[in-house]
Amino acid sequence: MSKPEQTVIDDLIVLGRAVPETIKNGRTTICTAGYSKNLGFVRIYPTKHTSPLTQWSIVKVPVECDPRDTRRESWKIQGSKNEWDALDQKIECLGTLERENRLSLIANLADDCIRYVNDEKRSLGIVKPTIEEHYFSDRADYDPSIQTTLFGPSPPKSKSQYPKIPRIKFRCSNCKAEKSHDMTVLEWGFYEWFRKNPDNIEQVWENALLDSPDHEIFFLLGNMLRYRNAFLIISILRLPKGSVSKPLVPFIK
């Protein structure tokens, strides 16, 4: 099924936002990933750090194709370049997904292994991991320079301004890969913790509830535009354990 050049998504459930990055024209942008029952998984890029796109919010947003990004899930907000300053006004928050419905949604969207997502040429997917190790690696492109702006609040730190990269080694629930996956974590909340607590970055793993006996852990994964077989962890979805109901019709992925 081909995607239209433009559309209005009126049921987008925000699942995660990645750490900000600075693009060539100096804008600080954020990749937002979510789910629409009408369209399946959705990626919106770029978005502003001030956008009303908090996790589990349900939003309405006018989008269009990006000719530079052919991934089916990828969209940009209409006017994202020429109307950048007014971009937040194009997003309408319709509500929030109820807590009791979150686990069923995520569990029914999960794949047994990211290999299936890749084989189906999807660029976004969800898996339930068995975590083997979490650690930090050094960032090769680390640039501690401080961003400034003449007008309005300063933009948030971009990912290259953090010296450490959080990574997780894991297996999927029914993993088909020959060896364990080892992926970078891009979740914005991780990096906000680093910014606010630079002397206690290890605490971020406990914050993520990775070992909590009371929570189900899922990873929202996305691939890279230039390297379609390489996936990253956009968000760690931590959900209180509970019952999962099956939809009458399988969700579109």
Q: Beta 110-111 vs 124-127: how paired, if at all?
A: parallel
Rounded to 5°, the CA angle 146-152-158 comes to 35
pLDDT tens digit sequence for 169-195: 999 999 998 999 999 999 999 999 999
Domain co-membership, 137 together with 214:
yes
Domain co-membership, 161 together with 208:
yes
Domain co-membership, 180 together with 149:
yes
Looking at the structure of the chain, the number of domains it has is 2
pLDDT tens digit sequence for 39-83: 999 999 999 999 999 999 999 999 999 989 999 999 999 998 889
29: CATH: 2.40.50
Q: What pLDDT does 150 receive?
A: 42
Please check whether residue 80 is in contact with residue 63, taking contact to mean a CB–CB distance below 8 angstroms: no
As a whole-number percent, the residues of the chain with pLDDT over 90 amount to 79
Collect all residues with Cβ–Cβ distance below 8 Å to 234 and sequence separation of at least 6.
15, 16, 17, 18, 31, 33, 124, 186, 187, 220, 221, 222
Residue 248 lies in a domain: no
- If you search the block for the tokens 């994964």, which residue do you land on? 221
Tokens of 109: 């969207």
Q: Report the C-alpha gap between 189 and 117 in whole angstroms.
A: 25
pLDDT tens digit sequence for 127-152: 999 999 999 999 988 888 755 444 44
Domain co-membership, 232 together with 195:
yes
Provide the residue range defining the domain that includes 79: 7-96
Full-model pTM: 0.93
Rounded to 5°, the CA angle 34-38-43 comes to 30
Tokens of 251: 């969700």
Q: Beta 92-96 vs 57-64: how paired, if at all?
A: antiparallel
206 CA to centre of own chain: 20
pLDDT tens digit sequence for 188-224: 999 999 999 999 999 999 999 999 999 999 999 999 9
Domain co-membership, 143 together with 236:
yes
At residue 94, does pLDDT exceed 90?
yes
Domain end (from 96, 120, 150)? 96
Instruction: Spell out the alpha helix ranges (H) of the chain.
Output: 99-109, 114-119, 188-196, 203-207
Domain co-membership, 68 together with 157:
no
Residue 32 lies in a domain: yes
Domain end (from 38, 66, 96)? 96
Cβ atoms within 10 Å, residue 66? 17
Domain co-membership, 104 together with 169:
yes
Domain co-membership, 144 together with 184:
yes
Residue 252 lies in a domain: no
Average pLDDT over residues 110-137: 96
Among 41, 40, 50, CA closest to 20:
50
Q: What pLDDT does 151 receive?
A: 41
Residue 249 lies in a domain: no
Residue 25 lies in a domain: yes
pLDDT band for position 154 (cuts 50, 70, 90) = low
Domain end (from 96, 118, 153)? 96
Q: Which amino acid is at 95?
A: G
